[in-house]
Amino acid sequence: MATKYAIQQQGVMDGSAVPADKADGREVCGAKTSLLASKEAGVAWDSGDVVYLGKQPAGTKITDIKVNTGTSFGSATIAIGTGGDPRNGGTVTSAAALVAATTHTVVDKPTSLGPKASVADDAPSEEPVHLWATIAAANIAAATVATIEIEFSGLS
């Protein structure tokens, strides 16, 4: 049986670097912060709409994306991706970069949707990243209460 090391521990605890490297504090024992993006009551999110969620701070990586809603999204799908700064005319450039389009029918229970494994193993971003949701397949009703929580790990 072989001993394997997580990427974050290679060169730190495996003896491959002398002297040992220091662990990247953005990934090992990094501070957790969250961004909350809530749907405005009385405003529908229609199929084809894009919703600006907020900005991932530089030097962090996304560790969890949760959705909590008081009403099922039914057949509507939500994808979470990246794009440009809306203050400069930016919009979605990669609609499903973090979470592929998925339905959400669980009610009153925060449910993790991502991020994709291919994102979770990335190094922390060096620049801020603008985060967007894309709604498809059906509308999310105006009366629906929903919050998206995006958790980051990095240096505080």
Residue 86 phi, psi dihedral angles, 5° rounding:
-65, -20
Q: Is residue 22 part of a domain?
A: no
Q: Is residue 24 part of a domain?
A: no
d(CA 13, CA 60) in angstroms, rounded, equals 23
- Domain span at residue 54? 31-154
- 68 in Cβ contact with 146 (< 8 Å): yes
Q: Is residue 3 part of a domain?
A: no
- 47 in Cβ contact with 139 (< 8 Å): yes
Q: Is residue 26 part of a domain?
A: no
Q: Is residue 50 part of a domain?
A: yes
CA 81, 69, 86 angle in degrees (round to 5)?
35
The number of angstroms, rounded, from the C-alpha of 78 to the middle of its chain's C-alpha atoms is 12
Q: What is the pLDDT along the chain (156 residues), one digit of tens a residue?
A: 887 888 788 888 888 888 888 878 777 777 888 999 999 989 999 999 999 999 999 999 999 999 999 999 999 999 999 999 999 999 999 999 999 999 999 999 999 999 999 999 898 999 999 999 999 999 999 999 999 999 999 875
Q: Is residue 55 part of a domain?
A: yes
Number of compact structural domains in the chain: 1
| CATH code: domain of residue 58 | 2.60.120
Q: Which two tokens stand for residue 147?
A: 């919050």
Q: Is residue 56 part of a domain?
A: yes
Q: Is residue 36 part of a domain?
A: yes
Q: Which two tokens stand for residue 126?
A: 């060096």
Longest dimension (CA), the chain: 60
Q: Tell me which amino acid residue 124 is.
A: P
